[in-house]
A and B are shown apart, each in its own frame.
Chain A
Amino acid sequence: MAIKDILTPFTAWKKVFREPVTVKDPLNDRPGAERYRGFHKNELKTCIGCGSCEEICENEAIDLVAVKGYDTKDGDSGLRPMVDYGRCCWCALCVDVCTTGSLTLSNEYTWVAEDPEEFRFVPGAENKEWDNNELGWKKPTPNYEFYGQKRQTMEELHPEERDHSFIEMIKGYSKEQAQLEADRCVECGICIATCPANMGIPEYIKAVREDDMEYGLKVLYETNPLPEICGRICTHKCETVCSVGHNGEPLSIRWLKRYIADQVESADYKRILGTDGIENNGKTVAVIGSGPAGLSAAHYLSLLGYKVTIFEQFAQAGGMMRYGIPEYRLPYNQIDKDIDYILSLGVDIKYNTRIGKDITLSELRDKYDAVFAGTGLHLGRSTGIPGTDHENVYQAIELLNKITEGKEIHVAEKIVVIGGGNVAMDITRSLARLQNQKYGRVQMIATALESEENLPADVEEVLEAREEKAIVNAGWGPKEIEIKDGKIKGLHVVKCLSIFDAEGRFNPKFDEDNKNFFEADMVVESIGQGMDINYITEDIKAELKFGPRGRITVDENIQSDAKWLFVGGDIIQGPDVIHGIANGHKAAYGIDNFLKNK
C-alpha cells in the first residue's frame, strides 16, 4: 500500500475547474449526421407503389395505401407507403431496396407529437418539416445492390450469320442465365396489372427461379395459351413498366416466358395442364379467324366444354402471327407447337374458309350457339401519294403473306419502305434477307414520319435492322414516287416537323424546303393496316354499334350488341398479340356466361 495510492485519485479534482460537458455541449438542436436514419421522406411522383419496401420491412411497419391524387395506372399501383413509427426500427432496408429511389430517410430525429396516431403517416403526402432536408440516409452508391440491375445478355445470331436467312436469331436463355435473370424480380406485380392478359408474371418467374417448369407452364396457361409465340414476339408492356427498370434494366420477362415454354415437350402438355378428358357440354361456338384472339377464345372455351370450330381463310392457322411476322422472329414450328396443343383439345378448324364467301355470318349464327370474330387487320393502307398505283408499289402485309406462303415475290435491287412501325421493320428486314440472297448486298431504306426517338417500332427492331445493313431514315414525309419511263426511280420526301396538331389529331406539318430523295426500284408501303369486316352483312350491322374508327362497340366481356356475336383482337384493340389473347380469354368467359344464362 503506497501513499501514492491514497493521493493519486485526488487528481480527478482538477476536473472541478473545467466546464461540465453539459455546458460545453448543451442540448440544442444538433442536426443528425449526413447519413442519419431519421423519419422517412418519399418523392410521391417518382414512387410507383411497387411495395418492395413493404416486402422487406421485417417489422411490418410499412403498408401501401391509396393516396389522393395518385391513381392506379400502367406502371403505378397508385399506392404509396405509409409508415407506422410504432413499428419502424429505422433500419433503412426499405430505402436500400426501393426500386425507384424515391424513398429516403431524413436526418430528423427529434419530432414530438402528442397524438400517437400522428406517428403513422404517408411520407411525402403530409407536409412534414423534414420533407426538404437534404441530409439523411440515402441508398449507398455505387455497386450496392439488393438485386441485379443488369440483364442477362441474350445470345443471338451475329448480323452476318442471320442477314441472309430466316433462321431464328434469338437463341434463348440457358438454365443458368434464366435463373439469374429470374432472381432479379422483386415480385411487385406492377407487370400483372399492365399486361393486357394479366399474366401471373412474378409467379412464373418464381417457377424459373425454382426450376419448376411444370408449375411455370401451368401459370402461363392460366391466362395465355400461346406462350411460345408470346415468349418471342410479345410487345412486352410488362417490361416497360417493370419496377426494376427504374434504376436498372427491366427484367427480360418475355424471354423468361419463352424459356419455360421451350423447356417443356409438347407431348407433356396435356398431362401437366390436366386437360385430358374434358367433358363436352353439347354447346357449339364458331370462331372466325385463327389469330391470337380466336385461338385464345377457342382454348378457353374448349376447357369449359364447348365444341369450338375455327374458320380460317388461309391454309394454315395462326393469322397474322404466321402470315405477318417473319420466320426469323417467330419460327413456324413454335407457332405449330402452341396451336397443335389447342387443336388437341378437340377444336375443329376449317382452313381456306372465308366468311362472307364460303359461308355467311348468318349461317354461323343459325348453326352455332355463339360466334366469336377475331378477324384482325389484313388490309394494307396506302399513303395515296402520286405514283402508288405503280405495279412495283406493294403493301407490306401482302408481301409478308406471300413470303410465308412460300410464293415468289418481286425483290428489286433498291427498295424503299414507307413506315416506321414493327411491320415496316419486319418487311424491311425480310426484304433485306431476300436482297442478300438474290444480289449479295442490301440496299434498303425505311423512312418514317416519326423522328428517330419517336419511332413506333421497338428499339431493338430498329437496331437489328441497322445491324443487317438496312437504313432507317426517320423524320421524312413521303411526297411523290418518281416514275420515269414506266419505272420507279425513287421516293421524294420532305422533312416532317410534327405529326399531330394541338388537339392530338393526325395532321403532319412539313418543312417543304428540306427535301430528300431516296433512290429505289420498288416501294413498299407499311403505314398500318385496316380491318375488313365486310363479312358482317347489313342486317347484322344494324344490330351493332360502332365507335371511333369504325370499331365495333363491345362490353367488358367482348360481347357486341348482337348478343350472339363476340368480337375481339386487333379489330377492337391493339394491334398486338397479347391484347388478342386477352380478348379471347374474356370472350370465353363472356360466351360461357351468355350461354349459361340463355
Chain B
Amino acid sequence: MKEQKNIFNRQPDRSKYPAKKKNGKLDIDLSSGKFVKLWHGPNHPGVTGNMAIELTLSGDEIVDAKTHVGYLHRGFEKLMERRLWIQCFPTCIRMCVAEPDYNEYLLAKSAEELSGIEVPEMAEWLRTLVLEMARLQSLLRTVPGQAGTLSLGIGVQWGVYLRDLVLDLFEELTGGRVYHMYIIPGGVRGLLPDGFKKRMEEVLGKIDEFVKNIENLMFNNIVFKKRTKGVGYIKPSWVNKYGIVGPNARAAGFKRDVRKDYPYLVYDKLDFDITHETDSDIFARSMIRKKELVLTLDLIRQIMAKMPKKGDIKAQTPNVLHWKIPAGETYVRSESSRGEYGFYTVSDGSTKPRRINLRGPSYTHAVVLLEKLLINANIADVHSIMVSLQTCPPEIER
C-alpha cells in the first residue's frame, strides 16, 4: 500500500534534534536546559483510564515518549485461574470497563468451543444485539470525545446523555447498566422485554439526529479539521508490523474487520460493508468511528428486524458448580469498537481455566504505537492522539 503524504502536517521537522548517540539512543541531556521531562498522567483528564506517558519536551514539541502502565493492574487473568468457569463470568467483564460485553462473549465462546456446546439461535441473535449495543454506547463516548480532547465539550455532553439512554435499554434487557453480565456460557440470561423494540427505535432515532449534529459540530468544523488532519499519522507499513487493528487499521486503508473476515454469531446474516478511510490521521480515525456509529445503528435495526420472535436462550450445560471443560486450547475473537479483541484460553480439563489470556487492541495501540506517534507531536496534541487510538488502559493490564 502506498503511504499517504502528510500534507497537513505543519509542525516543523525536528527529526534531527536531539541527535542520536552512537548506541542509537537519543542524546538528551536534561541539565543542558534544552529539554523538559513531563509526566502526562497517570491521572489526567486527557488520559483514558490510568496510565502515564513520560514525555521529553523540547519547547512544546515532544522528542521522546515513554508509556508507563501498572496503575491499574488487578490481576484478573490470574484471578480467573482460581475460579470456576462460571465464576470467571463476573470477573472477566472488568478487564474492559468500556465494553464489558465482549469479555462475556469471549469467555462464553471459549467455554462452549472447548466443550462442544451449541448455543440456541435465539441466544446468538441476542448476543449480537448486545455486542452491537455495547459498540454503540462505546462510540457515543469516543466519537464526540475526540472533539472533547480539543476542548469542544458540547458533543461529549450530547453523547453522554444518549449513552445513558442506551444504558437504560441495557438495564431493561440485562438487568445492569455498565456490567451487564448477560452473555453466560451456554446462552444468554433473558429474552427481549415487552415493548423493547419500540423503545430501542426511539433511542436509535435520537442517535440518528445526534449523528447529524455531530457531523456539523465536528467534521465540518475548521478548528477540528486543522487540529486533526495530518496529526497522529500512522504509516500503513506499521499496521502489520505493530499489529494495529480495528478502526486504526481501517483508517490506514486496511479493510479489516473480524465481523467480515471471520464471521461469528450471526454477522454472516447481516448486510454491511467494512468502513474504511485512507488518510490514517486523527481525522480519518474519527471519521471511521462516526461511520461505525452509523453502521452500528443500521446493524441494530437489522438485528431487531431479522431476529426470531422466540426460542431457547440457553443450551443445557453441565452443572456449573463442577463443570469440567475438556482439556484443550482455543483462540476466539470478536470485533470490539477498538478492533480485534480475543481470548486465548487453555483448559487442563479441570473445573477452572488453566490460562485465559486477553489479546486486546490497546496493548499494541497504547503502549507501542503511542510512543512512536508522539515523537515530534505538539504537547497540545498528546491526548488527542491518545484518544484517537481509543486506548483502554484497564484492558492493557488486566
Say if A and B assemble together: yes
Q: How long is the Cα–Cα vector from A5 to B173 in the complex, in angstroms?
A: 41
Contact assessment for B312 and A209 in the assembled complex, using a CB-CB cutoff below 8 Å: no
- Shortest CB-to-CB span from B199 to chain A, Å, is 11
Which of the 9-residue segments B127-135, B240-248, B272-280, B314-322 touches chain A?
B314-322
Question: Contact flags (1/0) for A142-181 with B, using CB distance below 8 Å?
Answer: 0111111000000000000000000000000000000000
Contact assessment for B174 and A35 in the assembled complex, using a CB-CB cutoff below 8 Å: yes
Which of the 9-residue segments A89-97, A255-263, A533-541 touches chain B?
A89-97
Known contacts: A32-B171, A90-B176, A93-B90. The answer to whether A140 contacts B322 by CB under 8 A is no
Known contacts: A9-B221, A12-B154. The answer to whether A146 contacts B172 by CB under 8 A is no
Known contacts: A33-B172, A35-B172, A209-B322. The answer to whether A140 contacts B220 by CB under 8 A is no
Instruction: List the B side residues contacting A185 at CB < 8 Å.
Output: 319
Known contacts: A6-B222, A137-B175. The answer to whether A58 contacts B87 by CB under 8 A is yes
Contact assessment for A144 and B179 in the assembled complex, using a CB-CB cutoff below 8 Å: no
Q: How long is the Cα–Cα vector from A251 to B325 in the complex, in angstroms?
A: 23
- B321 touches which of A37, A97, A137 (Cβ 8 Å): A97
Q: How long is the Cα–Cα vector from A59 to B191 in the complex, in angstroms?
A: 27
Contact assessment for B312 and A34 in the assembled complex, using a CB-CB cutoff below 8 Å: no
Which single residue of chain B is at the shortest CB-CB distance from A58?
A: B87
Contact assessment for A12 and B321 in the assembled complex, using a CB-CB cutoff below 8 Å: no
Judge whether B161 is part of the interface by a CB distance below 8 angstroms. yes
Which single residue of chain A is at the shortest CB-CB distance from B90?
A: A91
Residues in B128-159 with C-beta less than 8 Å from chain A: 154, 158
Question: Contact flags (1/0) for A32-49 with B, using CB distance below 8 Å?
Answer: 111111000000000000
- Shortest CB-to-CB span from A253 to chain B, Å, is 15
Contact assessment for A93 and B213 in the assembled complex, using a CB-CB cutoff below 8 Å: no
Judge whether B373 is part of the interface by a CB distance below 8 angstroms. no
Contact assessment for B222 and A37 in the assembled complex, using a CB-CB cutoff below 8 Å: no
- Shortest CB-to-CB span from A137 to chain B, Å, is 5
Judge whether A113 is part of the interface by a CB distance below 8 angstroms. no
Contact assessment for A36 and B171 in the assembled complex, using a CB-CB cutoff below 8 Å: yes
- Shortest CB-to-CB span from B219 to chain A, Å, is 9
Contact assessment for A52 and B314 in the assembled complex, using a CB-CB cutoff below 8 Å: no
Which single residue of chain B is at the shortest CB-CB distance from A7?
A: B220
Instruction: List the A side residues contacting B312 at CB < 8 Å.
Output: 143
Judge whether B86 is part of the interface by a CB distance below 8 angstroms. yes
Judge whether A385 is part of the interface by a CB distance below 8 angstroms. no
Residue from B91, B173, B322 whose CB has the most chain A CB atoms within 10 Å: B322
Instruction: List the A side residues contacting B191 at CB < 8 Å.
Output: 140
Which single residue of chain A is at the shortest CB-CB distance from B318?
A: A183
Instruction: List the A side residues contacting B187 at CB < 8 Å.
Output: 144
Contact assessment for B319 and A11 in the assembled complex, using a CB-CB cutoff below 8 Å: no
- A92 touches which of B84, B175, B193, B218 (Cβ 8 Å): B175
Instruction: List the B side residues contacting A11 at CB < 8 Å.
Output: 213, 216-217
Judge whether A8 is part of the interface by a CB distance below 8 angstroms. yes
- B217 touches which of A12, A33, A35, A56 (Cβ 8 Å): A12
Which single residue of chain A is at the shortest CB-CB distance from B314?
A: A144
Contact assessment for B313 and A144 in the assembled complex, using a CB-CB cutoff below 8 Å: yes
The dominant DSSP class at the A interface is: loop
Contact assessment for B172 and A184 in the assembled complex, using a CB-CB cutoff below 8 Å: no
Which single residue of chain A is at the shortest CB-CB distance from B172?
A: A33
User: How many chain A residues touch B (Cβ–Cβ < 8 Å)?
Assistant: 44
Contact assessment for B319 and A8 in the assembled complex, using a CB-CB cutoff below 8 Å: no
Contact assessment for A33 and B171 in the assembled complex, using a CB-CB cutoff below 8 Å: yes
Known contacts: A58-B87, A91-B90. The answer to whether A35 contacts B321 by CB under 8 A is no
Instruction: List the B side residues contacting A92 at CB < 8 Å.
Output: 175, 181
Judge whether A398 is part of the interface by a CB distance below 8 angstroms. no
Instruction: List the B side residues contacting A315 at CB < 8 Å.
Output: none
Contact assessment for B316 and A148 in the assembled complex, using a CB-CB cutoff below 8 Å: yes
Instruction: List the A side residues contacting B320 at CB < 8 Å.
Output: 56, 97, 146-147
Instruction: List the B side residues contacting A96 at CB < 8 Å.
Output: 189
Q: How long is the Cα–Cα vector from A15 to B209 in the complex, in angstroms?
A: 12
- Shortest CB-to-CB span from A249 to chain B, Å, is 14
Judge whether B89 is part of the interface by a CB distance below 8 angstroms. yes
Known contacts: A35-B193, A36-B175, A143-B313. The answer to whether A1 contacts B222 by CB under 8 A is yes
Judge whether B83 is part of the interface by a CB distance below 8 angstroms. yes
Known contacts: A11-B217, A34-B172, A90-B176. The answer to whether A186 contacts B321 by CB under 8 A is yes
- A91 touches which of B83, B181, B213 (Cβ 8 Å): B181
- Shortest CB-to-CB span from B385 to chain A, Å, is 22
Instruction: List the A side residues contacting B314 at CB < 8 Å.
Output: 140, 143-145
Q: How long is the Cα–Cα vector from A211 to B42 in the complex, in angstroms?
A: 53
Judge whether B255 is part of the interface by a CB distance below 8 angstroms. no
Contact assessment for A12 and B213 in the assembled complex, using a CB-CB cutoff below 8 Å: yes
Instruction: List the B side residues contacting A525 at CB < 8 Å.
Output: none
Judge whether B190 is part of the interface by a CB distance below 8 angstroms. yes
Q: How long is the Cα–Cα vector from A206 to B324 in the complex, in angstroms?
A: 12
Q: How long is the Cα–Cα vector from A183 to B322 in the complex, in angstroms?
A: 8
- Shortest CB-to-CB span from A99 to chain B, Å, is 11
Q: How long is the Cα–Cα vector from A579 to B318 in the complex, in angstroms?
A: 34
Judge whether A23 is part of the interface by a CB distance below 8 angstroms. no
Instruction: List the A side residues contacting B313 at CB < 8 Å.
Output: 140, 143-144
Q: How long is the Cα–Cα vector from A59 to B87 in the complex, in angstroms?
A: 9
Judge whether B225 is part of the interface by a CB distance below 8 angstroms. yes
- Shortest CB-to-CB span from B47 to chain A, Å, is 26
Contact assessment for A91 and B89 in the assembled complex, using a CB-CB cutoff below 8 Å: yes
Contact assessment for A146 and B220 in the assembled complex, using a CB-CB cutoff below 8 Å: no
Which single residue of chain B is at the shortest CB-CB distance from A6?
A: B222
Known contacts: A143-B314, A183-B322. The answer to whether A9 contacts B189 by CB under 8 A is no
Judge whether A502 is part of the interface by a CB distance below 8 angstroms. no
Q: How long is the Cα–Cα vector from A489 to B362 in the complex, in angstroms?
A: 92
Contact assessment for A89 and B319 in the assembled complex, using a CB-CB cutoff below 8 Å: no
- Shortest CB-to-CB span from A148 to chain B, Å, is 7
Contact assessment for B175 and A93 in the assembled complex, using a CB-CB cutoff below 8 Å: no
A-B contact pairs, 25 of them (CB 8 A): A4-B220, A8-B221, A9-B221, A9-B222, A12-B213, A15-B158, A33-B172, A34-B172, A35-B172, A35-B173, A37-B175, A37-B176, A52-B321, A56-B87, A58-B87, A89-B90, A92-B181, A93-B87, A97-B320, A97-B321, A140-B189, A140-B314, A143-B312, A183-B318, A186-B319
Additional A-B contact list (9), CB under 8 Å, known A56-B320, A58-B84, A143-B313: A9-B222, A11-B217, A36-B171, A55-B321, A93-B86, A140-B313, A146-B321, A183-B322, A209-B322
Give me the interface of B with A, judged by CB distance under 8 Å. 83-84, 86-91, 154, 158, 161, 168, 171-176, 179, 181, 187, 189-191, 193, 213, 216-218, 220-223, 225, 312-314, 316-322
Give me the interface of A with B, judged by CB distance under 8 Å. 1, 4-6, 8-9, 11-12, 15, 21, 32-37, 52, 55-56, 58-59, 89-93, 96-97, 105, 137, 140, 143-148, 183-187, 206, 209
Give 6 nearest A-B pairs by CB, closest first.
A58-B87, A91-B90, A147-B319, A35-B175, A5-B222, A8-B220
